[in-house]
Amino acid sequence: MAFFIASSPHAHSRRSTPDLMKWVALCALPGLITQTYFFGWGTIIQLVIAITIALGLEALVMVARKRPAMSALRDNSALVTAWLLAVAIPPLSPWWIVAIGLVFAILIAKHLYGGIGQNLFNPAMVAYVVLLISFPVQMTSWISPTELQSAPISFGDAFSLIITGYNLDGLSLQQIRTGIDGITMATPLDAFKTALHTGNTASEALHQPMFGALAGIGWEWVNVAYLIGGLALIKLRVINWHIPVSFLISLTVCSGLFMLLTPGQTASPIIHLLSGATMLGAFFIATDPVSASTTVKGRLVFGAFIGALVFIIRSWGGFPDGVAFAVLLGNMCVPLIDYYTKPRTYGH
């Protein structure tokens, strides 16, 4: 009787890879809905474009590799990659941003290494980093939450901005992002870091209108929504708790320690936990079963390492958020982490 050895991801459950990927997408729905509520229809439009392009690229690559395309499409891995990239980029980015990103994600980060189960890096994060380095203006053009907008952006305006670069009235995205006072809106993490670099204290930085009761308006609730979805993934045993818990504890400890050592010069733990892509990264990105650590101790080290890197990049790096860079650096260290955290063999 032949013994068939399948490639990773391996899961100690009766669920198949398509089933696991489906639950990841379903548990990300609360975050998607909340993000759409606070930042408009652009997120949904980007998601539809991303899924369409990702599935098309996946099918073309499988045909070129002379393998069955439908089996690859049914594993839902391309769908999850498209989903993660679509919610990570600014909602009103040009359509070609997500297209270029998915070319890198599907063709290079995934299939160049042999396809699902053999990629060394998280494909969505590879795409995000390539886009952020190559197109910094487009990748940092976040709009303010609907709460702070003088006139909400309609579905038609969002669609027109993504496809043509202008809304139905002929205004560009940069014109829309610039408020009446001539100040261009930024993300809370970016605004906080800029305020510190210009000589303001942390408390003075938090007086900006984009900061809410806990963190940035809109961003805090988006992170809470992804936290709820992430806890559902743990409850359903789709992911293990080790990576997200160690990630969040490490980020909390680092930010809390430096807040005590350098008061007024570092964001508080609550700002770090509920701003940017913290919860999305902790539960949906860092826990990728292929590119993350596989041992129990290794997952704890992997998550803690990423959490510390996120704090370092946010505090002293050139980019306001560091989740994507931290995850890729963590992926690089996975072989070393797994080597030194292998469980002892029985009877050793």
d(CA 287, CA 243): 6
The letter for the amino acid at 198 is: T
pLDDT tens for 19-65 read 889 999 999 999 999 999 999 999 999 999 999 999 999 999 999 98
Residue 162 pLDDT grade (very low, low, confident, very high; cuts 50, 70, 90): very high
d(CA 143, CA 186): 7
Is the pLDDT confidence value at 10 over 70? no
Q: Is the pTM of this model over 0.75?
A: yes
d(CA 250, CA 272): 11
pLDDT tens for 273-327 read 999 899 999 999 999 988 899 899 999 999 999 999 999 999 888 888 889 999 9
pLDDT tens for 261-283 read 888 788 889 999 999 899 999 99
| Cis amide prior to 136 (ω within 30 degrees) | no
The mean per-residue pLDDT over the stretch 318-340 comes to 92
How far is CA 328 from each of CA 29, 194, 244, 291, rounded to the nearest angstrom? Answer: 25, 25, 16, 9
pLDDT tens for 217-239 read 889 999 999 999 999 999 999 99
d(CA 221, CA 183): 24
Higher model confidence: residue 170 or residue 233?
233
Residue 89, SS3?
A: coil
d(CA 198, CA 185): 17
The CA angle 336-341-344, to the nearest 5 degrees, is 135
**pLDDT, averaged across the chain:** 87
Q: Give the model's pLDDT for residue 274.
A: 92
